[in-house]
Amino acid sequence: MTDAPPDDSTATPVRPDDTTTTATTARPEAGVCPVTGARARAVRGPRSFPLSNPVISTVAYAADPPGYSLRAQRDHGTVVRLPILPHNPTVQLSAPDGIRRVLQVNADNYARGAYYEAFELFMGRGLLTLEDRDWRAHRKAVNPAFTPQAIADRAGQSDEAIAALLDRWAAHARTGEPFDLFPEAMKLTCRVLGMALVGKDLSQDGGEFAEAVSVALEAIFKNVGSVDKAIPSFVPTPYRRRVARARRTLERVVAQAARDVDNGAGGEVATLIRAADLPDDALWSDLVTLFLAGVETTALALTWTLYEIARHGEVRDTLAEETDRVLGGRPPTAGDLDRLTYTAMVVDESLRAHPPVWQFTREAIEDDVLSGHHVPAGTPLLVSVYGAHHNPEQWDEPERFDPERFRPGGSPARDRSAYLPFGGGRRQCIGKRMGLALLQQTVAAVAGRFRISPAQGAVRGGAFITLFPKGGIRVTIQERAR
C-alpha cells in the first residue's frame, strides 16, 4: 500500500519526524515541511463518483465505519481525505509518524475540534472534551486514584468481582447452555469501575446503568452527524426516549455520588473531584466521562479477547498451560501479572485487532505537514486507531490473530506509534494501567478454570464510538479437569 502521489511529481520526499518530545513548532509555509523544508503533497481522497460525493460517501461510512476506514486507507494511503459530512473534508490519519506528530511532537497545534462538540451531549466540559489549558486541572484532580499504589490498594475489589464472575460461569458450565459474553463482561466492569469511581457496585440494578452507558455512547456518535435533528425536537421517537432514560440513570448515579461524598462515604474519584477547585459541573462531566470511557470499553476489550481465545484452540491451550504453571490452580491476583507473560500478549493482540475506541479526532490550529502531506489550518482529523492497527505496512497479515507479535524481547520492525489502543501523548487514557490489569487478571482467571468454546458462527461487528459485536457473542464453557 502506498500513499497517493504528490501534486508535483518532482516533490522531494519528506522524512518523518521521529522526535518524541512535545513542542510547539513555528507555523510552516503552506505546503512546506517544517522539518526539512521540502514541498508536501496535497491530501487525496476519492476522486470519482459515487464516493467523491459527500452525501453518498457519508452514507457508505455510516453503513460500515471501520470497513470504510480500511478501504480508504487501502485505496488512498495512510493520510486520506474523506468527503464525509458534517465536516467535509475530514482527513483520516493512520500513518505512524503523522500520529506521533499530532499526539506528541506538535501536540500544541491540535485542538479537540468540532467533532468533540457532540461529546458534550453527555460528557459536558470535562476530562475528554476540554482543551489542554483547562483539562490539566481536571486530570490533576483525579490522577491520585489511578497511580500504581491506588490501583494496588483497590486490588481486593477486582479479586471479589472476578470471583463473582467465575461463580456465575460455574453455573453456565454445569448446564452447558450458551451465554453472551458481553453482558457478563459489563457486570464485571460496572462493579469494578463503580467501586473505584463512586464507591458503588453499579452492576446491581438489573443492567440499567450498563444500558445507559451503551446508549450514551451511541447517542454521542449519532450526534456528530446530527441525523436525529431531521425529526422535529418535540417528536418523542423511541431512540430519543432511550437517550432521555439513559441521561436520567446517569443523573441519578451522579447525584447519589455527591450525597455519598457529602456524608463521608463516597467513592475515591468522586471524593477527589468534589475536593478539587473545579467548576460546579465537574462532578457530572468528569464522572460521566470516566463512566463512558472506562466501563464499556473495558468490557468490550474483555469480550473480544475471550472471543479470540474461544476460536483459537492453540491460544486457549497455551494460556491454560501458563496459568497452570504460574498459578497452580489458584485464582490469579494482581501480584501474579508480571509472570503471566502469554496472557499479556493475548490481551495486547486483542487490543490491536479490536481496539475498543477505534478512532478519535483532532483539528489543526495552524498549517502543518503530516507524513509528507500538507494539512491546512482548520482541518478536522480522524486519527484511525483501527487503520493503524490493520496497516499491512506495519503488521504482517494484520487480519490474523497472533499473540506472538507481542512476545517480550522481540524486535519488531513496526513503528511504536502504529499501536495505540489507549491513545497517546499527554492525553493518553488515564485508566490504561487499571484497565490492563483487570483484563489480564480476568483472562487468566477464566483460562485457568474454564475451557471456552464458540457457540455461534461468524460475529458481526458494529461501530459507534466503540467497536462492538452486533447481537453479542455466545459461547459455552466447561470446567477444566485438574
What digits encode the pLDDT tens for the residues 65-115? 999 999 999 999 999 999 998 898 999 999 999 999 999 999 999 999 988
> Per-residue pLDDT for 17 more than 50?
no
CA 360, CA 366: separation in Å to the nearest integer?
A: 19
CATH number at residue 404: 1.10.630.10
Return the C-alpha torsion angle 223, 181, 310, 299, nearest 10. Answer: 50
The helix (H) or strand (E) run that includes residue 323 is: helix 313-327
Q: Does a structural domain hold residue 171? A: yes
Q: Which three cell numbers stand for residue 304?
A: 473480544
**What one-character DSSP code corresponds to residue 42?**
E
Q: Does a structural domain hold residue 141? A: yes
Look at residue 439 in the predicted model and tell me its pLDDT: 98
Using alpha carbons only, give the angle 23, 90, 103 rounded to the nearest 5 degrees.
20
Angle formed by the axes of helices 155-175 and 181-198, nearest 10°: 160
What digits encode the pLDDT tens for the residues 336-395? 999 999 999 999 999 999 999 999 999 999 999 999 999 999 999 999 999 999 999 999
> Per-residue pLDDT for 141 more than 50?
yes
Q: What is the Cα 13 distance to its own chain's centre?
A: 33
Look at residue 98 in the predicted model and tell me its pLDDT: 98
Look at residue 461 in the predicted model and tell me its pLDDT: 93
Look at residue 481 in the predicted model and tell me its pLDDT: 82
- What would the DSSP string read from start to end of 164-228? HHHHHHHHHHHH---EEHHHHHHHHHHHHHHHHHHSS-TT-STTHHHHHHHHHHHHHHHHHHTGG
Please give the radius of gyration of the chain, using alpha carbons only, rounded to the nearest integer: 23
CB-hemisphere CA count at 13 Å for 209? 24
Q: Which three cell numbers stand for residue 22?
A: 512535545
Q: Does a structural domain hold residue 74? A: no
For 206-212, what is the mean pLDDT?
96
Q: Which three cell numbers stand for residue 447?
A: 483460562
> Per-residue pLDDT for 234 more than 90?
no
Handedness of CA 296, 259, 142, 280 (dihedral sign): positive
CA 105, CA 52: separation in Å to the nearest integer?
A: 32
**What one-character DSSP code corresponds to residue 85?**
S
Sheet holding 373-375, edge to edge: 41-42, 373-375, 368-370
Mean pLDDT score across all residues of the chain: 91
CA 72, CA 46: separation in Å to the nearest integer?
A: 8
How many CB atoms neighbour CB 241 within 10 A? 10
CA 201, CA 224: separation in Å to the nearest integer?
A: 32
Q: Does a structural domain hold residue 459? A: yes
Look at residue 29 in the predicted model and tell me its pLDDT: 61
Q: Does a structural domain hold residue 56? A: no
Q: Does a structural domain hold residue 113? A: no
What band does 40 get if pLDDT is binned at 50, 70 and 90? Answer: confident
CA 178, CA 58: separation in Å to the nearest integer?
A: 38
DSSP E strands, 310-449? 359-364, 368-370, 373-375, 380-384
Angle formed by the axes of helices 181-198 and 432-449, nearest 10°: 140
CA 117, CA 125: separation in Å to the nearest integer?
A: 10
What band does 213 get if pLDDT is binned at 50, 70 and 90? Answer: very high
What digits encode the pLDDT tens for the residues 243-273? 999 999 999 999 999 999 999 999 999 999 9
First vs last C-alpha separation in the chain: 49
Residue with cell 451522579: 254
CA 91, CA 380: separation in Å to the nearest integer?
A: 6
Look at residue 88 in the predicted model and tell me its pLDDT: 86
* Alpha helix ranges (H) inside 450-480: none
**428 residue type, one letter:** Q
For 11-32, what is the mean pLDDT?
45
Q: Does a structural domain hold residue 27? A: no
> Per-residue pLDDT for 20 more than 80?
no
How many domains does the chain fold into? 1
Residue with cell 517480550: 408
> Per-residue pLDDT for 36 more than 60?
no
> Per-residue pLDDT for 164 more than 70?
yes
Q: Does a structural domain hold residue 63? A: no
What band does 13 get if pLDDT is binned at 50, 70 and 90? Answer: very low
How many CB atoms neighbour CB 354 within 10 A? 25
Task: Judge contact between 17 and 97, C-beta under 8 A.
Answer: yes
**What one-character DSSP code corresponds to residue 9?**
T
Domain that holds residue 186: 132-479
- What would the DSSP string read from start to end of 453-467? EE-SSPPEEEESSBE
Look at residue 18 in the predicted model and tell me its pLDDT: 39
